[in-house]
Structure formats: C-alpha cells, structure tokens
Amino acid sequence: FRFLELYPYGGREELRGLVTPFLDPYDKPSRHIRRILRDVVAAGLTMNPVMMVMLNLPLPWDFIFAARLERKRRALEERLPGWLDTLQRLEALQSLANFADLHPEYHFPEIRERIEEGAIFSATGLGHPLIPHQNRIRNDFDIDRRGRVFLITGSNMSGKSTFLRTVGVNLALAFAGGPVTAQAMRTQLFRLTTCIQISDSLREGVSYFYAEVRRLRDLLREASAESAQPVLFLIDEIFKGTNNIERHVGASCFIEALAGGPACGIVSTHDIDLTRLADRLPDVVNLHFREHIVDSRMVFDYTLRAGPCPTTNALTIMRLEGLP
C-alpha cells in the first residue's frame, strides 16, 4: 500500500484515477494500518503480568484498547473491499501490460460496441498465444454477420479444436484490454459462450453426454436471447458422446436452430454428413483443416480452408500405430 501511495504517477491520469483511494493523505491505507499497529502494541503490553496490573489499576486499559480496535475494525470493514478491488484490478492490468511488453509483435485490437457495416469479427494472421512463435501457424477469419454458423471439419489432430481455442483466447484477451496474437483484429462486443472440454461427474452421476447436453441447452438459451451484445459460440466436437445416428440428427437440429439467429460462431465435428447442411441453409459455411501423407507419415499444415474436408485419417492413424 505504501508503494502505491508514494509512486510518482506524473501525467498518468488514468492510473492516478484508479489509485485514488490510496492518495488521500487523511484516509490512505498506511495511515489506518499505522494507527492499528500502535493500538495493537499498546494492547499487547498487558501480556506481561506486571504491566497488566500497573496499567489496569488506574484505568480500564484492556477495555479502552479493545474499544479502540473495534472502532478501527469497523472503519477498515468499510474501506478494505475497495482497496482490494483496486489492487486486484491493478494486478490484472499489470499482467496484461507485461504480456504486451513481452510480445511487441502482438497488436491491440479495434473494439466497437456494435458494427453496423462490414464484418462483425475480422482477424488477419490469427494465432494461438500459447503455441511457440516458431511453430505457430496463423489463419485469417471473418464473421460477416449475425446468424452465421461456421462448420469446421477435418482429420484428427488437424487443428480444429486449437482453432476454436485460438478465437476464444484472443477474444478474451481483447475484451480484457490486452493485445491479441494477430496482425490485425477488429471486433464488436460479444458474449463469448463455449462448449469445449466437457467432463463427466461420478459424484453427481452425470455422464459426458448428459453434461454436454446441459451445456448446449444453456448455450442455446443464451444464443437465442436478443441483446445488443450477441453471443459468439464455440462448440467443439458436437455430440461426440453418443452414437452416429442420433449424433447426426441432434447436431443437424441444433445447427438449424442456431443458423440465421441472433448469435454466430463455430462448430467443429467429425461428422462429414453435417456439411450437407450448407446446401440448404445459407447461413451455414463449411471450413476445414486437412492432412497430407508423406513417406507414410501424416503431415499437417494447420491452414484453414474453405469447403468440407475431403480427407479422413482415423484408419491411417490406426494402421501407423500397428492396429489391425
């Protein structure tokens, strides 16, 4: 607290405004804490039996300082939440500032309350910040309007799930006030909603599939609600916890419910038959990742392409790992 009170803020008006609770000379934290420490020391004198007798004979020493400390406790009770909120915000902003300083090649996005013309989300050279720079593959991605559902197909390990996380992580960074791993990014405000990395619960008696259904139910409710800030949803491997027939029917109906609505987003799947939805639903767009076989090895370029995926690799992976 003393460091924040004495820091030379200079012309940093935004920062000075944030730390206003620490700059009042009569109400700053260090002043309150010093006064408490003095009373604590004075109250502690009676821990010595001799001093206890000497101090409590002429006046009710313990009672006086118990009352003084109680008054100071009440004063702190009013102020401490505000001080801690300010510290928490400073710590978050410091982390984002440090992140930006460590990665000067990242860029701050352009964020608008609402975009009336042009793409409502547009990113050039979008990459995942946790992938090392030398291994990071960047992709361009645009969402031209609400109601769009981008259906991403592709082989195992081709990059579908990572791309969903790439979009989500960069939006989270952008809305927190940090730089994004992109050459340029422009977005309106969204309510980011995801169905990624679902887990079952033995304690609650919930299977993977049921947990996914509940998450998608909540996502659909959020996505269907009209709001100035629409939902941007990210759904990874939709309904992979059930059989092929019911997965296809359920996923088809779910995507139909989202397409053309107030929300927009991305759905990844291994169900190639779902790509036919784009033939009758104008708001469904097919994208894909693919692999190449080179010298009996799978090679991935992690490049996002238009259209449904023309290749599969599950049997190839089984064969390369020695399964029949």
pTM: 0.80
51-55, 70-74, 139-143: least confidently modelled range:
51-55
Per-residue pLDDT band at 244 (split at 50, 70, 90): confident
Contact call for residues 223 and 283 (beta carbons, < 8 A): no
Question: What's the rounded Cα separation, in Å, for the pair 150 and 138?
Answer: 18
Phi, psi (5° rounding) for residue 317? -60, -45
Residue 240: what pLDDT? Answer: 81
Angle between helices 61-102 and 49-56 (to 10 degrees): 120
- In this structure, what token pair is assigned to residue 125? 């050279």
Stretch 261-289: mean pLDDT, rounded?
A: 92
- In this structure, what token pair is assigned to residue 158? 């081709």
The 10s digit of each residue's pLDDT in 106-117 is 999 999 988 888
Question: What's the rounded Cα separation, in Å, for the pair 138 and 229?
Answer: 27
Angle between helices 160-176 and 61-102 (to 10 degrees): 120
**Greater confidence, 20 or 226?**
20
Per-residue pLDDT band at 128 (split at 50, 70, 90): very high
Work out the percent of the chain whose per-residue pLDDT is above 90.
44
Question: What's the rounded Cα separation, in Å, for the pair 132 and 183?
Answer: 16
Question: Is the pLDDT confidence value at 143 over 90?
Answer: yes
Residue 280: what pLDDT? Answer: 92
Amino acid at 112: R
Question: Is the pLDDT confidence value at 43 over 90?
Answer: no
Residue 163: what pLDDT? Answer: 95
The 10s digit of each residue's pLDDT in 83-107 is 899 999 999 999 999 999 999 999 9
Residue 217: what pLDDT? Answer: 92
Stretch 146-171: mean pLDDT, rounded?
A: 92
Per-residue pLDDT band at 286 (split at 50, 70, 90): very high
Per-residue pLDDT band at 278 (split at 50, 70, 90): very high
Residue 22: what pLDDT? Answer: 87
What end-to-end distance do the CA atoms of the chain give, in Å? 66
Report the SS3 class of residue 183: coil
